[in-house]
Amino acid sequence: MLATGALALGVMFSASACTASAPVPSSAATDPPAEEAPVSDATRELLAAATEGDADRVRTALADGADIEARGAGGTTALVAATKANRAAAARVLIEAGADPDHVNNLGWTALHEAIVLGDGSAVYAEAVRALIDGGADVSIRDGDGVLPRDLAVARGYDAPIAEIDR
Position 74 scores a pLDDT of 65
d(CA 8, CA 127): 26
Q: Count the neighbouring beta carbons within 10 Å of the beta carbon of residue 12.
A: 20
Position 87 scores a pLDDT of 87
pLDDT in tens, 104-157: 988 899 999 999 998 899 988 899 999 999 999 999 999 999 999 999 999 999
Position 165 scores a pLDDT of 96
130: left (phi over 0), alpha (psi -120 to 50) or beta: alpha
User: Per-domain residue ranges for the chain?
Assistant: 37-166
**pTM flag (> 0.85):** no
Q: For domain 37-166, give its CATH number from 3.20.20.80, 3.60.10.10, 1.10.3720.10, 1.25.40.20.
A: 1.25.40.20
